[in-house]
Amino acid sequence: MELDTLDRAIVGALIEDARSTYAEIGQRIGLSAPAVKRRVDRLLSTGAITGFTARVEPSALGWTTEAYVELFCRGKTSPAEIGTAVARLPEVISACTITGEADALLHIRAKDVRHVEQVIERVAAEPFVVRTKSAIVLSRLIDDPPLAPHPA
């Protein structure tokens, strides 16, 4: 799972455009098309690259509202327990346990504010949830630019 300079260049090219041809990538980094393909196949099998996806304007699909919800859970709640519970809700697009007062932070996407409310209610209904604190997103400033290969 160790990536050399060429691997990182390939990953960078595929992050920029997942539909580039192997020849294009090869030309850019000084490698032949088959060599690029072999490396991409390896990056896929080792799990460094987990897949290729289209970036879609959420509003085009009807997701116009998003919110962040902090979860305060009762004493002995495991991360796994939270994970399995929120995984059932398709509106929850991101979830993690965090340091600080709250135990977990959810990022949810919904059709409208009413829909957000319904999701929060369903989350709050989980037996381990003591209370929630939510914030509706007003305007998005930066929208997950695919992560750059080199952290400096």
107: three-class secondary structure by DSSP? strand
Choices 22-30, 43-51, 116-124, 131-139 (CB under 7 A): range interacting with DNA: 22-30
C-beta contacts of 87-95 below 8 A and 24+ residues apart: 89/119, 89/122, 89/123, 91/115, 91/119, 92/119, 92/123
Per-residue contact string for residues 123-142; x = within reach of DNA by CB under 7 A: --------------------
Where b means 16+ CB within 10 Å and e means fewer, 105-121 reads bbebbbeeeebbeebbe
Nearer to a copy of itself, 75 or 99 (CB): 99
29 binds, among DNA, a copy of itself, none (CB under 5 to 8 A by kind): none
* Minimum gap (Å) between residue 27 Cβ and a copy of itself: 18
Binding site for DNA (CB under 7 A): 6, 21-24, 26, 30-35, 37-39
